[in-house]
Amino acid sequence: MKAVWTTSSLMIGLALAGCGGGGGGGSSSGNGNTTSAVAFAPATIAATADGTQRSEVRLVATPSAELASAKPADIFIKVVDSNQVFSSGAYISSNGDGTFNAVMSTQASLAAGSYSGQLQVQLCKSADCASQYAGSPVSVPYRVNVGMMQPALTRWDGVADWSTAQGNAKHDGYVPVTLDPAKFSLRWHWTTPLYNPPSEPTIYNGTAVTSAGKSLIGLDENTGSQRWSSYFGWPNTVNSSTDGLASANGLVYVSWLATGGNGANNAQLLTFDIKTGSQLRSASYTDRFNLGDTPASRPTVDNGTVYLAGQKLTTVSANGVVSSYGPTLGYQSASVAVDGQNAYSYGALMNTPTSSGSEGELHVFDKNTGALKQTLPDAVSYLNWVPRAHAVVGAQNDIILVNPWNQYSQRALTRLNVGGGVAWSVRGDFNGQPVVANGKIHITCNFPTRVETYDEASGKLLWSQVLPYSNDQSAVLTFAPMIVTNNLLFVNGTTALYAIDLNSHRIVWQYPGMGTLALSANGLLYVTTYSGITAINLK
């Protein structure tokens, strides 16, 4: 197959991969034809770029029966981009099911603004395009937002602030909003003034708080400007906690480690005023055994009580009283999950069977009394280490766990019934933490990098979507945080951040940056990398 890319001033010949293989249906191309020569998904391109780097765009192409049966040498593709928004060039690869990936990039030098138009894709029988295949040309509308934009911040009704791990005390990663990718745009980028990478922010009432090194920094959600900075380091501390922030009721909580004897970590929970950054109090507790640069457990706040996954379940009351409950475990979860009745802590001692005979178990505590109500063994008999693993509270009186076995293929996604036992468990090369919404569990996997969605009740695999990669199918997701809304799933790939439509299961938006994620009640998506934080308008 041969192709040319035409802009208002440039025509370049490109050699693309041959089509071949079965055809099939697909979404409408948007050009009004009943049967298009090729159907593209998404039907409309939505992308965000900062004006200094290219933004990658991925389309899935489904050829018509006529086009799919043609010889590759007899197919010529001409793409007309009269606005010169996209670079001349594309990478095309087969998905092995009759569909193809087409990956292209925006121009790196676009001025700030919103660019709308259409790519005209002509499927031709000769290089001069004197004759085209039936259903050609195909138009693909696009909207590319470039540069920093400052629409007024307005709070969503019924949406809570992003408080802790995966947003809330249940750790389900769910934000109950419906989003339009065409409205996404960059708002601001903040670069850490320190050499230490910033943490994922916790957000409360217009202030996003991050830690970097031994400093706590409050950022204005509207502009990204620094409101305050507070130094909180103390002698003999280890590296900065990358997960140890939470906020509620005008307060910010920081869990912080110090080296201790026998591999144990002595820790403090520090409390700050979110408006001024002033430290109000501190409380000491014993965190997990020393795991090198593993951060302290991330606080979870519920009705003024802070829950910590120390060597025991630890709570700190509103007036600073520290209490510990349950058995002593060397490795605890990254954060305690809390619902209306219970607190859930997941962990085990490495290479030492726990009380259930399994090396991974979930402890269910009465959140009001601290009484241990239930111990549930995990479905896998070996728990390697859990610096980021934690329980996720589902919507069916259940808990969702991912056992972080050190071999990808041996990892398990498990649903436990509270008051019962294992409802189901599936093995796979799972990565990161699941998110749960509307009876569905979403999780990332490797080999190839992809998203899988399971039915919460039955454990049945509902759908899977492979994520783009840069010519390297062996690339792995080292950690892939996600956020789920009513209609979109935000997920990190190996090359970019993507939004996947939950109905079509297709990528509908992408941003050329990856990192930990947070979503504020004011409609800002935060992407935190080693060098700083980017805020993206979602409305």
Q: Dump pLDDT digits (tens) for 494-536.
A: 778 999 999 999 888 888 888 899 999 999 999 998 889 999 9
Query: 166: which DSSP letter?
Result: G
2-145, CATH topology level = Immunoglobulin-like (2.60.40)
Instruction: Give the pLDDT score at 166.
Output: 93
Phi, psi for 453 (deg, rounded to 5): -125, 130
How far is the C-alpha of 459 from the C-alpha of 115, rounded, in Å? 43
Chain Cα centroid distance, residue 59: 20
Q: What is the pLDDT of residue 236?
A: 43
Burial (CB count <10 Å: 0-12, 13-18, 19+), residue 262: exposed
* DSSP of 309-343: ESSSEEEE-TT--EEEES---SB--SB-EE-SSEE
List all residues 6 or more positions away from 192 whose beta carbon is below 8 Å from its beta carbon: 198, 212, 531, 532
Residues 6+ apart with CB under 8 A from 292: none
Q: In what order do the strands lie in the sheet with 422-428?
A: 392-393, 398-403, 411-417, 422-428
The predicted pLDDT at position 437 comes to 97
Helix, strand, or coil (residue 263): helix
The string of pLDDT tens digits covering residues 262-318 is: 445 577 889 999 999 999 998 888 766 545 445 567 899 999 999 988 778 889 998
Taking phi over 0 as left and psi of -120 to 50 as alpha, with beta for the rest, 536 belongs to beta
Give the contacts of 368 (CB within 8 A, at least 6 positions apart): none
Q: What is the pLDDT of residue 475?
A: 55
What pLDDT is attached to residue 7?
38
Residue-level pLDDT at 23: 32
pLDDT attached to residue 477 = 59
N- to C-terminal Cα distance for the chain?
Answer: 41
| DSSP helix, strand, coil percent of the chain (3-state; round to 5) | 5, 45, 50
DSSP, collapsed to helix, strand or coil, labels residue 66 as helix
Q: What does the DSSP 8-state code read for residue 158?
A: T
CATH 2.60.40 location in the chain: 2-145
**Paired strand residues for 148:** 186
Long-range own/partner contacts, residues 155-161 (CB < 8 A, 24 or more apart): 155/521, 155/522, 156/521, 156/522, 156/523, 159/521, 160/521, 161/203, 161/204, 161/205, 161/247, 161/520, 161/521
Q: What is the pLDDT of residue 499?
A: 94
Pull the structure tokens for residue 80.
């007309």
Locate CATH 2.130.10.10 in the chain.
165-537
pLDDT of residue 304: 94
Instruction: Work out whether the CA dihedral 23, 25, 30, 32 comes out positive or negative.
Output: positive
Provide the token pair at 524: 């800002």
Q: Which stretches in the chain have pLDDT values below 50?
A: 1-33, 235-242, 260-263, 290, 292-293, 350-358, 383-387
Task: Give 378-427 as a DSSP string.
Answer: -SSS-----SS---EE-SSSEEEEEE--SSGGGEEEEEEETTS-EEEEEE
Distance between CA atoms of residues 62 and 231, nearest Å: 56
Q: What pLDDT sits at residue 82?
A: 85
> For position 289, what pLDDT does the model report?
53
Q: What is the largest CA-CA distance in the chain?
A: 81
Q: Which CATH architecture has domain 165-537?
A: 7 Propeller (2.130)
CA–CA distance, 412 with 381 (Å, rounded to integer) = 10
CA separation for the pair 337, 308 (Å, rounded)? 9
Contact 500, 492 (CB under 8 A): no
What single-letter DSSP state applies at residue 259? E
Taking alpha carbons only, the member of 329, 349, 345 closest to residue 392 is 345
* 426 contacts 413 by C-beta, under 8 angstroms: yes
